[in-house]
């Protein structure tokens, strides 16, 4: 059995979650639309609504979260909405409104987030021949809520959330943890993800057999970027890569 794996080259596939297996960006856009509807129904000035949402998204993008400070990620993100309302309207908002914005955004995002039937059946096929690992960056609570919402944990031999560990992708340590926990070697694995700076750079740092960039928008490779070994528009195109590596 081991010799067959040697000759085949790849026995394990490490997947990123957000915007690789599930359309987190798309779910996020729908969640923001729902918050706009909520703010509209609360008679918030129409010219303010888009600005409030943009400010929230900017804060989310630059968020730093340290669980040791005694706050939850929910507290931090409710505060993002509070500040976005405050900055736009120039007055202290009703804290209940910030709470409602957050609940609407979070719950809508989790409800909309899904592993499509095509991706689910593709992963079920892959796991017959490969050991599948899920390696996702992000806060512990947020990422486990997503994993639970899309019911994907059972498809993987190992699920690793960055927030549960001292370092996240592209750090070598979290990849080493994956290899050791799953009993695989870097050269047995390919890393599949949408982020050049975390997934592809991380895979290169970890010396995996090959890196596969999911480029769903068909963007051109930015200047000074790391270069993935393969680029495909969707995980559903992965068979072409696996054939080439066999």
* Predicted confidence (pLDDT) at residue 162 exceeds the cutoff of 80: yes
Q: Are 98 and 82 in contact (CB under 8 A)?
A: yes
Topology of the domain covering 12-23+115-245: Rossmann fold (3.40.50)
pLDDT at 8: 57
Q: How confident is the model at residue 246 (pLDDT cuts 50, 70, 90)?
A: confident
In tens, the pLDDT along 121-141 reads 999 999 999 999 999 999 999
**Residues ≥6 apart with Cβ < 8 Å to 11:** 5, 130, 131, 184, 188, 189
Task: Calculate mean pLDDT across residues 169-191.
Answer: 97
Cα separation, 222 vs 225, in Å, equals 5
Cα separation, 228 vs 246, in Å, equals 18
* Predicted confidence (pLDDT) at residue 1 exceeds the cutoff of 60: no
Please give the mean pLDDT across all residues of the chain: 95
pLDDT at 68: 87
> Which residue ranges make up each domain of the chain?
12-23+115-245, 25-112
Task: Look up the pTM and report it.
Answer: 0.93
Range 25-112 has CATH code 1.20.120.710: yes
Q: List b or e across 104-135, with b for residues whose CB sees 16 or more CB atoms inside 10 angstroms.
A: bbbebbbebbbbeeebbebbeebeeebbbbbb
Residue with tokens 């596969």: 212
Cα separation, 182 vs 145, in Å, equals 23
Residue with tokens 């949402």: 53
pLDDT at 45: 93
pLDDT at 2: 38
Q: How confident is the model at residue 67 (pLDDT cuts 50, 70, 90)?
A: confident
- In the chain, pLDDT over 90 holds for what percent of residues? 92
Of 26-40, 62-76, 205-219, the poorest mean pLDDT is in 62-76
Q: How confident is the model at residue 6 (pLDDT cuts 50, 70, 90)?
A: very low
């Amino acid at each position: 059995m081991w010799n067959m794996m040697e000759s085949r080259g790849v026995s394990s596939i490490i997947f990123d979650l957000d915007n690789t297996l599930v359309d987190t960006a798309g779910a996020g856009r729908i969640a923001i639309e729902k918050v706009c509807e909520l703010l509209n129904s609360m008679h918030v000035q129409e010219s303010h609504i888009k600005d409030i949402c943009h400010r929230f998204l900017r804060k989310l993008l630059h968020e730093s979260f340290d669980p040791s400070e005694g706050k939850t990620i929910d507290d931090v993100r409710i505060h993002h909405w509070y500040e976005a309302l405050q900055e736009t309207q120039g007055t202290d908002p009703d804290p209940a409104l910030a709470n409602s914005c957050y609940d609407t955004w979070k719950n809508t995002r989790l409800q909309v987030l899904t592993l499509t039937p095509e991706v689910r059946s593709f992963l079920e096929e892959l796991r017959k021949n490969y050991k599948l690992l899920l390696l996702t960056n992000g806060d512990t609570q947020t990422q486990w809520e997503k994993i639970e919402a899309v019911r994907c944990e059972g498809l993987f031999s190992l699920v690793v959330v960055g927030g549960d560990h001292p370092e996240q992708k592209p750090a070598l340590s979290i990849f080493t943890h994956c290899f050791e926990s799953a009993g695989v070697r870097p050269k047995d694995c390919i890393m599949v993800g949408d982020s050049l700076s975390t997934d592809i750079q991380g895979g290169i740092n970890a010396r995996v057999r090959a890196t596969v960039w999911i480029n769903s928008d068909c963007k051109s490779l930015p200047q000074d970027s790391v270069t993935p070994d393969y680029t495909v528009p969707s995980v559903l195109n992965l068979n072409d890569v696996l054939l080439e590596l066999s």
